[in-house]
Amino acid sequence: MAEEAAGGGRGKRGAEGGDRDRDRDRDRDRDRVRDEEGASERGPGAAYHMFVLMEELLDKLKLLSYEEALRPHNMRPLSRHYFALPTNPGEQFFMFCMLAAWLITKAGHPFQQPQEYDDPNAIISNILSQLRSFGRPVDFPPSKLKAGCGEQVCYVLDCLAEEALKYTGFSWKRPVYPTEELEEEEITEDDAELILNKLEEDVVEEESDNEEDFIDLNVLKGQTYRSDMNDTPKHEEILQSTTDAVEWNLEVERVLPQLKVTVRTDNKDWRIHVDQMHQHKDGIDSSLKETRGYLDKLHNEISKTLEKINSREKYINNQLEHLIQEYRSAQALLSEAKEKYQEGSGGVTERTKVLSEITEALERVKQETEEKGSSMTDGAPLVKIKQALTKLKQETIHMDIQIGVVEHTLLQSKLKEKSNMARDMHAAMIPEATMLAMPF
């Protein structure tokens, strides 16, 4: 029965633990739904706010050299989105508690490092009380921090990191950008296109050189023509040349094959690309003229709608300001009540454990009492006693018989000894009498 009672106690504790796990999962699902609803109310970008907050937190932790806090535990450095995405709840919760305790100590408030078997509710309550002591608002339930990830975890660590930076005297300054020299972009092209471009450049340079030579000759001819009209001797000096005509012709024949270049049209030609770019630009300009009017009209409508929304939002905020204050105060009271409930639930679990131990001891005492009662009401011991008494009586009778036999034997031995003594005495007295009766 004690084993059954112990098994029943373990079953009850297992059922209670399963109920607590189910309640915790249900609360987590409810909080997730509430977070999604709150994110949808705040805007489409609210769901990604914790990623930005986590990156800012990581920068602040790096400024505080948080690796020294991880080194005693042999833990890896944090990733960019460590507390933003759920990966390992147990490890993330331990990392959160350890970093929070380290940051609180860095901020000037001594705080003991949490251990593995400490109560999570008590740890979270102590961290939130320290956060309130810094003047930071806490408008969310403590159960949000049990998952070890999420926007609330990032918010708590970010606030503690800011307080630690303030305590260490750190101040943010404007960034100083280094002056970098602009490097020329290297454009990788095909070998054929590069060869073609080089060839075209060489051809263009040679044509430009030839054009410059022709231009110089034309200018020279014009100058010689004008000078010929003005001064004939000077014109004759200019027309005279020291270059040999045969050597000039030979040089022309030698260079002429190198000046003849045949360029095949290719789809990779940059001229075709430039023409296509001009065509596309003309198409874009024509389409832009048609769509600009629609876009301007749409922009005006969106601007008016945004102005109406802003004005309506301001009006609603003004009208509901007192309700928002009441809601915030109610949220604060609710968070305090939940904290007290969590603290009370911790005491209830301890008392439940003590009650189960007392119940097991009571069941054990009941079993011993029942065993004693059953042994008292059972007639088997009385029968054994009666059998023992009869056996003792029989043994007593046998002993009496043996005692009588021994007494009889002893009496006979005494009588025999007495008769022997009398016979000896009589035998001794007869010789003396005969000795006295004889004459001397």
Instruction: Give the mean pLDDT of 374-379.
Output: 72
Residues of the chain with pLDDT > 90, as a percent, come to: 17
Confidence of residue 336 (pLDDT cuts 50, 70, 90): very high
Task: Decide: helix, strand or coil at residue 90.
Answer: helix
Highest mean pLDDT of the ranges 90-99, 133-142, 217-226, 295-304: 295-304
205 alpha-carbon distance from chain centroid = 67
Is residue 324 within 8 A of residue 106, CB to CB? The reply is no
Instruction: Give the mean pLDDT of 14-37.
Output: 50
Confidence of residue 395 (pLDDT cuts 50, 70, 90): very high
pLDDT of residue 210: 45
Confidence of residue 19 (pLDDT cuts 50, 70, 90): low
pLDDT tens digits for 267-290? 567 778 888 899 999 999 888 888
The Cα–Cα gap between 86 and 183 comes to: 44
Instruction: Give the mean pLDDT of 111-125.
Output: 84
Distances (CA, A) of 393 to 386, 398, 400, 401: 11, 9, 10, 12
pLDDT of residue 410: 92
Instruction: Give the mean pLDDT of 376-380.
Output: 72
The Cα–Cα gap between 239 and 236 comes to: 5
Instruction: Give the mean pLDDT of 117-141.
Output: 86
The Cα–Cα gap between 342 and 27 comes to: 13
pLDDT of residue 234: 46
Q: What is the mean pLDDT of the chain?
A: 76
DSSP string, 231-299: -HHHHHHHH---S-HHHHHHHHHHHHHHH-------TT-HHHHHHHHHHHHHHHHHHHHHHHHHHHHHH
DSSP string, 40-64: HHH-TTGGGHHHHHHHHHHHHHHHT
Instruction: Give the mean pLDDT of 421-425.
Output: 85
Q: CB 28: neighbour CB atoms within 10 A?
A: 15
Residue 140: closest CA among 17, 27, 41, 40? 27
pLDDT of residue 262: 60
The Cα–Cα gap between 144 and 92 comes to: 13
Is residue 313 within 8 A of residue 321, CB to CB? The reply is no
Is residue 121 within 8 A of residue 88, CB to CB? The reply is no
Query: Both tokens of residue 180?
Result: 């970098």
pTM value is 0.35
pLDDT tens digits for 193-227? 445 455 556 544 554 444 444 444 444 455 554 55
pLDDT of residue 246: 83
SS3 content of the chain, % helix, strand, coil (to 5): 80, 0, 20
Segment (H or E) for 115: none
Task: Decide: helix, strand or coil at residue 399.
Answer: helix
Residue 29 pLDDT exceeds 80: no
Backbone angles phi, psi at 51, to 5 degrees: -65, -45
Instruction: Give the mean pLDDT of 59-65.
Output: 86
pLDDT of residue 1: 36
The Cα–Cα gap between 103 and 98 comes to: 9
